Amino acid sequence: MGAGSSDKASYDFTRYQTLDGYVTDLLNLLRALDVSQVVYVGHSVSGIIGVLAAIQEPALFERLVLLAASPCYFNDGDYLGGFEPADLEELLSLLKRDYHAWAHAVVPNLIGGEMRPDLLDEVLNSFTSVDPDIAQQFARATFLSDYRTILSQVQVPALIIQCAEDSIAPPAVGQYLHQHLTDSTLHVLNTMGHYPHLNAPVATIASVERYLASLPAVSATR
């Protein structure tokens, strides 16, 4: 909700103050589709939304595939989330002052590597199409969140796909997820950026296929 071609008039600033609103949306969607035991693939913050949903309704999920996901984006003691808190606040302040300037400054760094120009434009267009007020609230709900303490509650097995160089979710974050998700597998891809499925789609797909092929309980039709 609030991104892409979703009905922006339906966006509720109270509902989406935290990621909980998106978690409810995901669970409602799965119930409406009358599906269960899904293999859920979530990129970045959507990965954590899937984690939170799987904690609430584990029976709906068979596996989680987390692409460059992070439970916490700021450094805290020995935890290296990628940002110092002061730098994160400065980044969010720029977003508030001039969202389009923020998007043009941040997106190339998010992409990393050597993404095709048309894909870079696609990602940039997806960012700039979001209403600035919605983008500001979503960014704060994402970057200031800290879900490290709930990871031990996840019962659903997970595949963690991590880029070798990612300024948003650095390698230490993938290791942290692997250490704290009880039944997890970590695959580190030799690529840069925060979008493994765009920067290295063949390697990303192969990683997912290898993981699912090793789990006979997962249906190939899902």
Catalytic positions: 44, 166, 194
Reference 216, options 64, 65, 63; nearest CA is 63
Distance (Å, rounded) from C-alpha 174 to C-alpha 84? Answer: 18
Q: Strands (DSSP E) along the chain, which ranges?
A: 38-43, 61-67, 158-165, 184-192
Whether 63 and 86 have beta carbons less than 8 Å apart is answered as no
75 contact partners, CB below 8 Å, separation of at least 6: 81, 82, 83, 84, 85
CA distances from 177 to 43, 47, 72 (A): 14, 11, 10
CB 73 within 8 A of CB 47: no
Q: How many residues does the chain have?
A: 222
